[in-house]
């Protein structure tokens, strides 16, 4: 089975519904050849979209991927590269940063893009996201920066990550955005109620979802809530003949905003579980069974 493809917005790019998330890659003991093999296995499953951020791996993650891509540069035309900028994190690799903070000034965005292009061994990015809302963001300056990068052919599309609906509205009033990358899982229900997913439907814009398994807590946390969810997931896994992980992913995909799933594992088996979820449509009762297990009660 291969993951389907989906257009992020009416004028946005077409990505694979399952996205290979590489925020942990710096912790995986892999050679460049092994990283390339992982990418090739993902491509066999139709997973062509790759998610990065400049700060991942203490600013080393993009270069690790770039080393692998350099072994087979012909693969660049078969993949879509997403990366993020806007966080300045204290790191030995950025000794000039004295405190963790946000920066969406023109100079920092342009410098971040140049660094990402160099480290990823590519001459363009398919999608650049502002990683976190910056309380000092000048929307006009960011929009002007995006326009310059787009005209230069360095970035094809732009979006945001972790923005509230009103923060998204501000920047999108100045420049067309194609997605908002947000957290959603059966253990993190906020986007269902804070307007984030409603906004996505209004704009016909597909959100990108991170931490769809609650950062692993769904299957490891020892709490009444997690235990209720694991029991409900196990029942539905038996019903549908799939893994509990696939059911958890399918719960996210059931939303009509057409979410894309980010994975976070080096195991190709984990990617297959996410791909399998694209072919599983939970009934409304099954979806609300998991919602009730998460909230600890029935709908009002």
The CATH number of residue 46's host domain is 3.20.20.100
Asked whether residue 235 is domain-assigned, the answer is no
Q: CA triplet 208, 118, 64: central angle to 5 degrees?
A: 65
Cα-Cα-Cα-Cα torsion 180, 185, 189, 195, nearest 10 degrees, comes to: 20
pLDDT of residue 121: 98
The number of distinct structural domains making up the chain is 1
Q: Report, as residue numbers or ranges, the catalytic residues.
A: 56
Cα-Cα-Cα-Cα torsion 152, 203, 21, 91, nearest 10 degrees, comes to: 60
Asked whether residue 296 is domain-assigned, the answer is no
The residue range of the domain holding 121 is: 5-222+244-280
Asked whether residue 233 is domain-assigned, the answer is no
User: What averages of pLDDT result for each successive group of 10 residues across the chain (300 residues)?
Assistant: 96 98 95 97 98 97 98 98 98 96 98 98 98 98 98 98 98 98 98 98 98 97 98 98 98 98 95 98 98 96
CB burial readout 70-108, b (16+ within 10 A) else e? eeeeeeeeebbbbbbbbbbeeeeeeeeeeeeebbbbeeb
Asked whether residue 227 is domain-assigned, the answer is no
pLDDT of residue 5: 98
Q: How many residues are recorded in the chain?
A: 300
């Amino acid at each position: 089975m291969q993951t389907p493809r989906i257009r992020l917005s009416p004028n946005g790019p077409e990505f694979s519904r399952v996205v290979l998330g590489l925020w942990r890659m710096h912790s995986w003991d892999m050679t460049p050849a092994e990283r390339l093999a992982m990418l090739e296995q993902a491509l066999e499953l139709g997973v062509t979209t790759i998610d990065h951020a400049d700060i991942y791996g203490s600013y080393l993650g993009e270069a690790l991927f770039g080393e692998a891509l350099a072994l087979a540069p012909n693969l660049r035309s078969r993949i879509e590269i997403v990366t993020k900028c806007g966080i300045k994190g204290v790191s030995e690799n950025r000794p000039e940063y004295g405190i963790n903070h946000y920066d969406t000034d023109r100079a920092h965005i342009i410098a971040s893009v140049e660094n990402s292009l160099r480290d990823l061994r590519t001459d363009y990015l398919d999608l650049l996201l502002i990683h976190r809302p910056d309380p000092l963001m000048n929307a006009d300056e960011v929009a002007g920066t995006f326009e310059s990068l787009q005209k230069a052919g360095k970035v094809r599309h732009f979006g945001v990550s972790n923005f509230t609906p009103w923060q998204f509205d501000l920047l999108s009033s100045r420049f067309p955005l194609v997605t908002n990358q947000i957290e959603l899982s059966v253990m993190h229900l906020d986007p269902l109620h804070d307007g984030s997913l409603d906004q996505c439907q209004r704009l016909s814009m597909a959100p990108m979802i991170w931490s769809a398994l609650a950062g692993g807590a769904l299957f490891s946390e020892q709490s009444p809530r997690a235990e209720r969810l694991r029991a409900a997931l196990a029942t539905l896994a038996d019903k549908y003949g799939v893994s509990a992980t696939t059911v958890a992913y399918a719960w996210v995909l059931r939303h009509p905003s057409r979410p894309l799933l980010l994975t976070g594992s080096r195991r190709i088996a984990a990617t297959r579980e996410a791909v399998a979820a694209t072919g599983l449509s939970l009934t409304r009762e099954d979806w609300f069974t998991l919602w009730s297990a998460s909230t600890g009660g029935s709908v009002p």
